Amino acid sequence: MTPVWDCMNASATPVRRQLHPPPVAPSPFPYNPGSLLSVQDLTLEAVSHILARATDLENMDPLVRDRILLKRRVALLFYESSTRTRTSFELAAKSLGADTTLVSSLSSSIEKGETLKDTGLTLRALGAEAIILRHNSSGAAWLLEEATRLPVLNAGDGMHEHPTQALLDLRTILTHLRPGIKTVTAETLAGVTVSIVGDILHSRVARSNMLLLPRLGARVVLCGPKELLPELAANAGPDIAVERSLEAALRQSQVVMMLRIQAERLAGMQLDLEQYKANYQLTGQRLAAQASSAVVLHPGPIIRGLELTAGVADGAQSAILEQVRNGVAIRMAVVERALATDGKGGGA
């Protein structure tokens, strides 16, 4: 037989044609209508409903609110440390009367090698009706939902998404820029530019926000050095731009969202922190010169003196603690939606 490497040359006539490769199957997620895995699972009507319920529940008499989910069982499953998210989810569920239980990776059978699937099935067998999951692996919430078919609330999965953070950020932004608004539409944030600055690559907060805010008409500008912000981030969705200069980003912005450098996810990456601060730290001077009326957000935890100065964190433009307060209200609405008995996610 002629050796293939010879005979194949002869037939090397390039063929060009229209290819119709196999289509991508539609996502089966979410399996449970009460789940909140990604901001992309929410219609704008559902977002409006969550925002409205957050306000209703916040203003409700605590003794009335207490009966909404009386004795319902909500499990908090946390594979990563957390202050804000865990406490606010717990307070939110308890404010609605639910019983909560916290399982964290360091004091459970997870340490003994139990898988996420088995931990989820165990919690379900123990009577959990919904699971709030914080996990260090991207996609963990999808795995848990598929395995348990329970309502799963994604409280942060690896570097992927943190949908309740984006919702509470939205609530904070609306309070400042669109006070009194009742429902959101595709034009609600038209003309608004939100800059997200810092460690975009490792940030689930950035991903949830860049996928949610443009759907309400906002423009998202991602700002950071190449190591922490790959150029292709601009392809993640519509109305997302990449800007390397903090000054240029600030000048366009009505909202500035600062992010922490996630040292725990740098995976051997060498980053010159002094250089980073020189280029990307939000200082009082930069803020006054470029964006003197912008709202400053930060999902926390903040590292004073690194991504922003203490003066900015505590300054008049900062809405950082407001975000934390909004977190409880949003999470009450999201937990209520998870356990709504009509199966349609709290009427949304």
Tell me which residues touch other proteins (CB under 8 A): 1, 3-5, 8-9, 11-17, 19-22, 24-25, 27, 29, 37, 115-117, 135, 137-140, 142-143, 147, 157-161, 201, 204, 207, 230, 232-233, 235-237, 267-268
Distance in Å, CB of 3 to other proteins, minimum = 6
C-alpha of 31 from chain center: 20
The letter for the amino acid at 259 is L
The two tokens of residue 113 are 């090698």
The CB-of-21 to other proteins minimum distance in angstroms stands at 6
Output 116 or 340, the one with its CB closest to other proteins: 116
Q: Which is nearer to other proteins, 60 or 121 (CB)?
A: 121
Give 144 or 249: the residue with its C-beta nearer to other proteins. 144
**Rg, Å, the chain Cα set:** 23
Any residues with CB less than 8 A from the CB of 244 and at least 6 apart, and which?
Answer: 223, 224, 225, 226
Side-chain-side CA neighbours of residue 83 (13 Å)? 5
Residue with tokens 């959101």: 184
Closest contact distance (angstroms) between CB of 159 and other proteins is 3
Beta bridge partners of 134: 78
Q: Distance between CA 217 and CA 290 in Å, rounded?
A: 23
Task: Tell me the helices (H) and strands (E) count for the chain, helix number first.
Answer: 13, 9
> CB-wise, 184 or 200, nearer to other proteins?
200
CB of 201 to other proteins, least distance (A): 8
Q: How far is the CB of 202 from other proteins (least distance, A)?
A: 8
Burial of 326 (0-12, 13-18, 19+ CB in 10 A): buried
Judged by beta carbon, residue 12 or residue 106, the one nearer other proteins is 12
Which is closer to other proteins, CB of 1 or CB of 125? Answer: 1
Tell me how far, at minimum, the Cβ of 8 lies from other proteins, in Å: 5
Strand partners, 78: 104, 134
CB 198 within 8 A of CB 261: yes
